[in-house]
Structure 1
Amino acid sequence: MANIPNAPKMPLTPEEYLEVFKESKALLEGHFLLTSGKHSAQYMQCAQVLQYPERAALLAEGLASQFKEMGVETVIGPATGGILVAHEVAKALGVRALFTERENGIMRLRRGFAISPQERVLVVEDVITTGGSVREVLNVVQEFGAVAVGVGVLVDRSGGTVDFGLPQCSIIQLNIKAFEVQDCPLCAQGIPAIKPGSRKI
């Protein structure tokens, strides 16, 4: 993971941020089908914490603090998980917020949104496991000729193993095991998997 040079300290500790998620009942236990297609016994449902504006602002301000000196002009995140994160981080940085959407399975900017060549863009997301959605957004930024200055996520559930080759930061890092379907112990026990997220695979 590429660290942010001379980044300020987070307003709260990772343990304190995790407590905010727990108080919001955002950390779920069970048998879950992830966006990546893998299975897991835990799931971080960020919508549960983002439904409270004051908590959303608290998390976003912590994330934004790591990028304040990087000349960010626009914050962008993928629909739907990244929309509120992008909006709140952009508010904390005093810049505009955009979001991408899939059209025929391809991540695009829609609704008349546009990015200028050389515009300095921060990509954000609520949760990453493999980082697939973030990479799709980074491709959109590149297609417009803009400059991706970094990646910020609320929860990195890869345990820090996903690297975008850019300065990146997360509020919380969790090392939650994810299994291929054929290796999933919960499937072996006959426990049905549910899909708590919003995106169709």
Structure 2
Amino acid sequence: MLSLKNSLAVLKKTDALLEGHFVLSSGLHSPQYVQCAKLLSKPNQSKKFISSLASKIKKNVKSFDIILSPAMGGVIIGYEIGRILKKETIFCERVDKKFKLRRGFYIKKKAKVLIVEDVITTGKSSMECVKLINKFGGRFVGIACLIDRSKKSSISKKIISQVKLDIPVYKRNKLPTSLKNIKITKPGSRYLR
């Protein structure tokens, strides 16, 4: 498995760990952002990262039938984890602001489902995936992600991550002076106002 030090080195080498003033999809502000798309754009660098996460999943999740990833960020990671662990992999997409299964994807009743994401901050996307799993009568068994930057929450005990980062987040009206003077960037595929 890839150590924390080596994982951080890969993130920096691929320009995936960014510094600045970012508004996350949750609406929270942060001085750092992990752009997993940059990591994944370098397959030779990301291979060890993803393989290490797959090993952690194998060690910590006794059994599961299918992987569900939220589009857009989790699609490649879910596919790669599924390929390594030889599991079917599907993804959900936002339709009218809610996750739905499209493209003929479905979850069999009582199927054990592992959610695979790129980055978890608030856990909102993961919890939306859990609702979708429940809607189909599946059984949620856990969450895996490349980067866990969540704080203590109801889902944090269920998260298996390659890297746990403690990056501060702030509400717009509680920004530190250091962020107030930096131009805002809104990365990611979803932005909530």
TM-score normalised by structure 2 residue count: 0.91
Is 1:103 matched up with 2:71?
A: no
Question: Percent identity between the aligned chains?
Answer: 38
Could you report, residue by residue, the CA deviation over 1:9-44 in whole angstroms, capped at 9, with x for unpaired residues? xx1112211111111010101111111101111111
Could you report, residue by residue, the CA deviation over 1:59-78 in whole angstroms, capped at 9, with x for unpaired residues? 22222222325222211110
Aligned to 1:147: 139
Greater displacement, 163-172 / 140-149 = 163-172
Aligned to 1:175: 166
Once the two structures are superposed, the pairs formed by residues 16-95 of structure 1 within 5 Å of their partners are 16-68=6-58, 70-95=62-87
Structure 2: distance between partners of 1:52 and 1:162: 32
Q: Can you give the 5+ residue segments of structure 2 that lack an aligned partner in the other structure?
A: none
Higher helix share: 2
Aligned amino acid, residue 188 of structure 2:
G
Aligned amino acid, residue 55 of structure 2:
S
TM-score normalised by structure 1 residue count: 0.88
Aligned to 1:5: none
- Say if 2:91 and 2:101, in contact at 8 Å, map to a contact too: yes
Q: Can you give the 5+ residue segments of structure 1 that lack an aligned partner in the other structure?
A: 1-10
State how many pairs are aligned. 190
Instruction: Say which of 97, 102, 109 aligns to 1:117.
Output: 109
Structure 2: distance between partners of 1:188 and 1:173: 23
- Say if 2:24 and 2:191, in contact at 8 Å, map to a contact too: no
- Say if 1:157 and 1:176, in contact at 8 Å, map to a contact too: yes
How many angstroms does 1:163 deviate by? 3.7
Q: What CA RMSD, in Å, does the superposition of the two structures yield over aligned residues?
A: 1.8
Aligned to 2:176: 185
Give the secondary-structure state (helix, strand or coil) at the position aligned to 2:116: strand
Aligned to 1:7: none
- Say if 2:2 and 2:49, in contact at 8 Å, map to a contact too: no
Structure 2: distance between partners of 1:52 and 1:111: 28
